[in-house]
Amino acid sequence: MENIENLAHGRGKVIGELLRGRELANQLRHILNESGDIDHNNNTDSTTPYAENLLKEVLMTFTNSLLFLNNNNLTSDVSDAQLAKSEDSLESNCKSTSIVKERRGCYKRRKVSQTWENESEKPVDDGHQWRKYGQKKILHIDFPRNYYRCTHKYDQGCKATKQVQQIQEDPLLHKTTYYGHHTCSAIQNPEIIVDSLSPTHHSSMFLSFDNSFPTPTKQDCPFLSTSSHPSSTSSSVKREECKEEIVNPPPPPPPPSSSHNDYLSGLTFDDSEKHVTLSSTLDSHDHLGVNISDISYDDVLNWPLS
């Protein structure tokens, strides 16, 4: 038992380090972008493709490592059906809304849910809008735990919540635990512009963002969806599709609206083929072949892993 806890703790550390590495690489990319070393629109410097490829490889290494760890980190102990069942039983206890009003606190307490965690030096902006609904002092922990729910809990019935806890051993670190998945269709500022069709970069994907690091506002853009829709060539259309599909945030639990759940067991990029191949631990039909023109490279790089 203790070994398991140690393993989990060690993996958390590794994930934290990888996240930091990816973050630093992103910062480097941002700096290069600002200095003009990587100019996707006016790329005449012969060193630029090399630097860019290096950055891509670094970021890909971090991402793949995180994916691998994350794939083993998801704690979906209970099926959606079981969750629904338990929720139904709880709902049945709340007879009517009038009673609920009288019985303050008649709520669905989360018993076991699908969770995933993230540690970062500061609370991460995962692109979703959260509203704080509680703060609690936890036993033997100096720092209070903050409770957040999705802003669209009531207007869209989004059940996603998260808890943010400063880590006692390292107060600079914040551990964010996510519960449930977003069913709302609102994501902030997913300014993803896909420029994969650049004639001078037929084997690369180029992206630019209106938003600047470290705001990871596109994390939940679900390139893991089956992308059954026709490929889009317009970046604005791409953004809309992202908004439409954020009901399926990648690493987290399987979305209810998708027949293709996204517990990845593997992910490979093939620039020459412009394809991202996603392997799922689920049924064979869940193996996804997704045209890269539908997927932004940085969607992968900014997943809320761990």
Partner DNA sequence: TGAATTTGACCTGC
Partner DNA sequence: GCAGGTCAAATTCA
Q: Which residues bind DNA (CB under 7 A)?
A: 90, 93, 100-101, 103-111, 129-136, 138-140, 145-147, 149, 151, 161, 163, 179
Q: How far is the CB of 130 from DNA (least distance, A)?
A: 7
Q: Which residues contact 221 (CB under 8 A, 6 or more apart)?
A: 127, 187, 190, 192, 242, 245, 246, 296, 299
Residue nearer to DNA on the CB measure, 139 or 172: 139
Amino acid making up residue 81: A
DSSP string computed for 192-225: EEE-TT-GGGTTS--EEESS-TT--TTTT--TTS
Q: Quote the least distance from Cβ 213 to DNA, whole Å.
A: 22
Q: Is the peptide bond before 123 cis (omega within 30 degrees of 0)?
A: no
Residue 122 or 140 with smaller CB distance to DNA: 140
Distance of CA 228 to the CA centre of its chain: 21
**Residue 249: which residues within 8 A CB-CB, separation 6 or more?**
181, 182, 219, 220, 222, 255, 304
Closest CA to 250 of 288, 284, 213, 285: 288
With respect to DNA, which residue has the nearer C-beta, 24 or 84? 84
CB of 165 to DNA, least distance (A): 8
Nearest approach in angstroms of CB 5 to DNA is: 16
Task: Name the residue nearer to DNA (CB basis): 149 or 218.
Answer: 149
- Amino acid identity for residue 266 in this structure: G
Which CB atom, from 137 or from 285, has the smaller least distance to DNA? 137
For the bound state, the minimum distance from the C-beta of residue 31 to DNA, rounded and expressed in Å, comes to 30
